[in-house]
Structure 1
Amino acid sequence: MDALGLRELRQHASDLVRRAEAGEHLVITVSGRPAAVLGPPERDHWRHYEDVADVLRRRTDDEWETDRELIDQDLVDPWEPRQ
């Protein structure tokens, strides 16, 4: 990776962006310290279904039946005027 100063970035921005677009990664330094990386955008990463199946798999709550009994079963319409 090439390193270049902030001043060089300002002076040659168009050329440096073209280099980054072509696949180069350039380190931008400020006062000699690395501050940023200029490079091509990341491409979309496709995954196989098997790699993400756990995230998409439907999980069940084994205690739902017990928890449901704890809910107050008297439903009330909150918009109905009280008497």
Structure 2
Amino acid sequence: MDEVTVRELRNHGGDVIDRVEQGETLLVTRAGVPVGVLGPIPRPRLSATSLLARWRNVPRIDADAFRSDIDAVIDPTL
């Protein structure tokens, strides 16, 4: 776990919160002594019913068109 000092938290709070928002957990220290932990809030899990409802709204993908698009960007001989 990475550490962040109280001074860093005060002076660069936005940057520290950005790191936490991206999933990082940080140990907050004052004068080298741990005083707290900053971490992301767990996201709520979706129920099976809501996952199925979302799945029904996903557009169909044309596999041939998708393959063609990929081949246009990446060398197919790789």
Q: TM-score range by the shorter chain?
A: 0.5 to 0.7
**1:3-43 CA distances to partner (integer Å, 9 max, x unpaired)?**
12100110110011011000001110012111111111123
* Aligned residue in 1 for 2:63: none
TM-score, normalised relative to structure 2: 0.53
Q: Which structure has greater helix proportion?
A: 2
Corresponding residue for residue 42 of structure 1: 42
Query: Where does residue 16 of structure 1 map in the other structure?
Result: 16
Q: Over aligned residue pairs, what C-alpha RMSD do you find?
A: 1.5
**Match for residue 7 of structure 1?**
7
Unaligned runs of 5+ in 1: 47-83
Query: Which structure is larger by alpha-carbon Rg, 1 or 2?
Result: 1
Separation in structure 2 between the aligned mates of residue 35 and residue 18 of structure 1, nearest angstrom = 20
State the secondary structure of the residue aligned to 2:24. Answer: coil
What SS class does the counterpart of residue 19 from structure 1 fall into?
helix
Count of matched residue pairs = 46
Runs of 4+ in structure 1 off by over 3 angstroms are none
Distance 1:36 1:45 in 2: 26
**TM-score normalised by length of structure 1:** 0.50
Give 5+ residue unaligned stretches, structure 2.
47-78
Q: 1:36 to 1:45 in 2, by over 3 A?
A: farther
Q: Summarize the alignment of residues 1-83 of structure 1 with structure 2, pairs less than 5 Å apart.
A: 1-44=1-44
